[in-house]
Copies of this chain bind each other. A is one copy, B any other.
Amino acid sequence: MPDAVLIYAASSHDKNLLWKTRFLAGDPVIYIEAGGRNMLVLNDLELGRGKTEAKVDEVLSLSDIEKELKDAGVKAPAVADVIVSVFKKRGEDRVFVPSTFPFELVDQLRGRGLTLTCRKDPFYPERTTKTEEEIGHIREAVKFTEQAYAKAEQALRETEIRGNELWWKGAPLTSERLRNVIDLYLYENGLLADHTIVAGGEQGVDPHCRGFGPLRPHQPIILDVFPRHLKTGYVADMTRTWVKGKASDMVRRMDAAVKAACETAFRTIKAGVESTDVHKAVQKTIEDSGFKTETINGKPQGFFHGTGHGIGLDVHESPGMGKRGSTLKAGMVVTVEPGLYYPGAGGLRIEDDVVVTTDGCVNLCSYHKNLEIP
């Protein structure tokens, strides 16, 4: 008998649930695997849509189960009562739940006789290797992302350098305006870019800074774009770093080191390889290029994040490819995104998405990696 499973979550947020059921729900629903079948328990608002859309063996009516429980003497049936009743009927009392399973239900379910065990991520290991169809979805998201880069590059080419300022269409070019070029183009094409980074100069030293205010000439500008294709739910995740004008020697050397690091990853990634070993090889390339990673005055600098991560329905999913990771398998789609960050010089990161194959990897991204935009 396969393991019994319980998820209580909104599939708009819990992508394991979305992946397994293909049913998008904005509020928490009960999902159960028991007795070799899987099922959703849905309220009246979701029942009709669930029966049509959800890829599960059964859709149960929450209000029917609540009614049964009331008839059996449970005065105000709680979610926990409903869950326990479904499992009991199917003779299960040992259940795997995800790491994110809500605390609210833990003691209630245990008090009603269920044994809960945390199944660590990846909750569904099969989800980490993508089907041809899923790779097609990611490829399509990449295609639109690259078109958005082309729009941003065009804007930067049209931009004029005036002393220490950048002017575009009669006004200073800001992070916000350049981000808008990207995000609007994507949205018009059905992709949602949630948190696009356009961070210039010192702002780029903080890898999570979104960027704001005027962009400057001769400084690196990090553009990290990771939109979700709303039609399919799948994402792309790409980064380019551009300098409008002339890059400093330091930034050129950073660029060369990061590109060499990308090449190391592309050469190293292959089914059967430990993703942590890919990261170590990338770290070594960065070091061999003469760049140190250290913490100065409590602020990390150099290459202080992972080499990459899986993408799919989530922007960050298994496998990790940093300090922690796992064995790479054919069909995994991972980012390769080494970066260097130094106060005074700025940040430089380049990111492509690749499919792991039995004899290497296939890069889904083909947008050029030129540093300077004239």
> Chain A 10-31 against B: per-residue CB contact (8 Å), 1 yes, 0 no?
0001000000000000110000
Q: Which of A101-109, A155-163, A232-240, A278-286 lines the interface with chain B?
A: A101-109
> Closest chain B residue to A298 by CB distance?
B61
* Interface-facing stretch out of A205-213, A244-252, A257-265, A358-366: A205-213
Tell me if A131 is interfacial: C-beta within 8 Å of chain B.
Answer: no
A369 to nearest B CB, angstroms?
A: 23
From 54 to 112 in chain A, residues with beta carbon under 8 angstroms from any chain B beta carbon are 61, 63-64, 97-104, 106-107
Residue A188 CB within 8 A of the other chain: yes
Question: Are B195 and A26 closer than 8 Å at their CB atoms?
Answer: yes
Q: Are B104 and A118 in contact (CB under 8 A)?
A: yes
Contacting residues, chain B, for A13 (C-beta < 8 A)? 13
Known: A45-B208, A48-B299, A207-B45. A102 touches B104 (CB 8 A): no
> What's the number of copies of this chain in the assembled complex?
2
Interface residues of A (CB under 8 A from B): 13, 26-27, 44-49, 61, 63-64, 97-104, 106-107, 116, 118, 120, 183-184, 187-188, 192, 195, 206-209, 295, 298-300, 304-305, 316
30 intermolecular pairs with C-beta atoms under 8 Å apart:
A26-B195, A44-B295, A44-B300, A45-B206, A45-B207, A45-B304, A46-B208, A47-B298, A47-B299, A48-B209, A49-B206, A49-B208, A49-B209, A63-B295, A97-B103, A98-B103, A99-B102, A99-B103, A100-B102, A100-B103, A101-B102, A101-B103, A102-B102, A103-B103, A103-B106, A103-B116, A104-B118, A106-B106, A183-B187, A192-B192
Given A27-B316, A44-B295, A61-B298, 9 more pairs with CB closer than 8 A: A44-B304, A45-B305, A47-B298, A48-B206, A49-B206, A49-B209, A64-B298, A101-B104, A107-B118
